[in-house]
């Protein structure tokens, strides 16, 4: 008898224009987005089957605008892990990213693993992953990975780390 893959929900969140929709679309070949005028006004969704870990990942991307924080909070429910996407080229949005992370964690009934994507590393003036960590004020045990979502650079590493942390958190 073949065992069905276990379903786990991952939340991709962060401030406006950080690259969340791109992350979801690069992680999931079947991704769909509810958007208007090239910005997410609903959510992004895709699923990804991880053969190595026998997981069926349901990946939800939130809108980034503050006016949609109610939708971010709804989408956070039931998440087993969070990918927080930060635009490394706009340090002024780091406080917004910190606020999003705190709100998402407050919506969950338990602490869930987080991996931070220091996105847009290919652009001039991008903060290093370590600088993003420092500005966010997160501890060393929270992975911060430099990514270029448009090229899928660093995304496999990020999702792999998050999966390992999610499975460890279940024990």
Q: Does the global pTM surpass 0.75?
A: yes
What is the distance between the alpha carbons of residues 116 and 145, in angstroms, rounded to a whole number?
A: 6
Question: Is 152 contained in some domain?
Answer: yes
The most confident of the ranges 13-17, 36-40, 110-114, 144-148 is 144-148
Query: Mean pLDDT for the chain?
Result: 86
Domain with 129 in it = 6-170
Residue 166 clears pLDDT 50, i.e. is over it: yes
According to the model, what pLDDT value does residue 41 have?
A: 47
Q: What is the CATH number of the domain that holds 113?
A: 3.40.50.300
Q: What is the pLDDT of residues 98-128, one digit of tens each?
A: 998 888 777 776 789 999 999 999 999 999 9
In a domain, 34, yes or no: yes
Q: What share of the chain is helix, strand, coil (3-state, %, to 5)?
A: 35, 30, 35
157 pLDDT higher than 90: yes
Residue 91: CB atoms within 10 A of its CB come to: 15
Q: Give the chain's domain count.
A: 1
Contact 101, 11 (CB under 8 A): no
Residue 1 belongs to a domain = no
64-75 confidence digits (pLDDT tens): 667 677 777 878
Residue 107: the pLDDT is: 72
**Alpha carbon 92 to chain centroid distance?**
19
pLDDT at 110: 75
Specify if 100 maps to a domain: yes
Task: Please check whether residue 148 lies inside any domain of the structure.
Answer: yes
Tell me, yes or no, whether 153 lies in a domain: yes
Residues 6+ apart with CB under 8 A from 5: 49, 50, 54, 55, 56
Residue 54 has pLDDT above 80, yes or no: no
């Amino acid at each position: 008898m073949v065992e069905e893959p276990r379903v786990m929900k991952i939340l991709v969140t962060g401030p406006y224009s950080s690259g969340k929709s791109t992350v979801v679309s690069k992680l999931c070949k079947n991704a769909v987005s509810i958007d208007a005028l090239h910005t997410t006004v609903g959510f992004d969704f895709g699923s990804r089957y991880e053969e190595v870990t026998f997981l069926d990942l349901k990946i939800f991307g939130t809108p980034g605008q503050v006016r949609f924080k109610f939708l971010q909070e709804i989408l956070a429910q039931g998440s087993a892990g969070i990918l927080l996407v930060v635009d490394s080229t706009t340090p002024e949005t780091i406080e917004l990213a910190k606020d999003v992370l705190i709100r998402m964690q407050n919506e969950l009934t338990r602490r869930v693993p987080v991996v931070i994507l220091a996105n847009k590393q290919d652009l001039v003036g991008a903060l290093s992953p370590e600088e993003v960590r420092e500005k966010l004020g997160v501890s060393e045990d929270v992975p911060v990975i430099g990514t270029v979502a448009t090229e899928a650079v660093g995304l496999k590493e990020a999702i792999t780390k998050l999966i390992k942390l999610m499975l460890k958190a279940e024990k």
